[in-house]
Amino acid sequence: MQNVLEELPRPGRVAIVRLRSLGDCVLTTPALALLKRARADLRVAVVAEARFQAVFDHNPDVDEILRPEPGVLRRWRPDLCLNLHGGTRSAFTTLVSGARWRAGFGHFRHQFAYNLHIPRAQEILGVERTVHTAEHLASAIFYLGAPVEETPRATLGLAEQPAAAARPYAVLHPVATAPEKTWRADGFLEVARLVEESGLEAVFIGAAGDDLRPFSRYRVVEGAPLGQVKTLLAGASLFVGNDSGPAHMAAAFRIGSVVIFGPSDPAIWGPWRARAEVVTARGGMAGVTVAQVVDALARLRMHA
């Protein structure tokens, strides 16, 4: 296998296509760090939808953030375009990028878009175990020529450090993209009560359109810009939430976290290299008890 990173011009340009979603964008950042570690001279652009671009703002491994429009990427003139998204739109974007090298995983659809076909992460890493998403994305960088090493933590940048809070607080994220990934509201209310009894303020967050009415007795941050959510999470003392994008953001900020899982496999989607406790139950979300979450909180504090 040719070492593509060594063949890139000096300086060269690499475009990473990662259109969405929140958690996937956060888990792409270890791959970006590995890319810059292997070739610090490279200019790296991330192609992302507007609503997720704030994930990559102020990241030292990202030089530019581009709109997911073929003309925008082509004018940027990448030498290598690496699709870490999959799917039709990202394949087309990669195909028309004008890059000499167009890379995507071998299991992606529309293989004609690529002239570099990346094999399974297990093959690249030399393992047959379940591979976390962060490792899977990082394996593409290893295949392209970066030295194989431990996949680093996720990284999120901030314009400035959050101001000291008048009262330490915990962020609770009680919503998710699907009902089967959403723990019940009364469970979160009980956890919020215990959080406040411990001396922390409970702050509930959600996107615009999420129903946060059950939590109105507490401070609620609904529909805030992603950059504001980043700052809020960066200043938190604790995170409790469903398997979701904010959970990965909390992990990136090294916030102690309790994350409640339904059908997703924590070995693939759990908080990556974080001080976190994962809660699951045989019956999915419906089987998760308040006692389990409280026990996880106790373990988290013991390990602090």
Q: In the CATH hierarchy, which fold is given to the domain comprising 169-302?
A: Rossmann fold (3.40.50)
**Tell me: the pLDDT tens digits for 108-145?**
999 999 999 999 999 999 999 999 999 999 999 999 99
Beta carbons within 8 Å of 297's beta carbon, 6+ residues apart: 191, 194, 238, 240, 258, 277
pLDDT at 304: 45
Q: In Å, what is the CA distance from 117 to each residue of 15, 113, 120, 143, 256? A: 16, 10, 10, 10, 38
pTM (2 d.p.): 0.96
pLDDT (tens digit, 9 = 90+) per residue, 135-192? 999 999 999 999 999 999 999 999 888 888 889 999 999 999 899 999 999 999 999 9
Domain boundaries, the chain: 4-143, 169-302
CA distances to 103, 241, 248, 293 from 206, rounded to whole Å, are 35, 11, 15, 20
Instruction: Supply the angle between the helices 22-38 and 133-143 in degrees, to the nearest 10.
Output: 30
Position 48 scores a pLDDT of: 98
Same fold, 4-143 and 169-302: yes
Task: pLDDT band for 303, please (50, 70, 90 cuts).
Answer: low
What is the residue type of 93?
Answer: T
Options 3.30.70.1150, 3.40.50.2000, 3.40.50.1980, 3.40.30.10; CATH of 4-143: 3.40.50.2000
Nearest to 255 by CA among 228, 227, 234, 232: 234
Q: Render pLDDT for 248-295 as a digit per residue (tens, 0 to 9).
A: 999 999 999 999 999 999 999 999 999 999 999 998 999 999 999 999
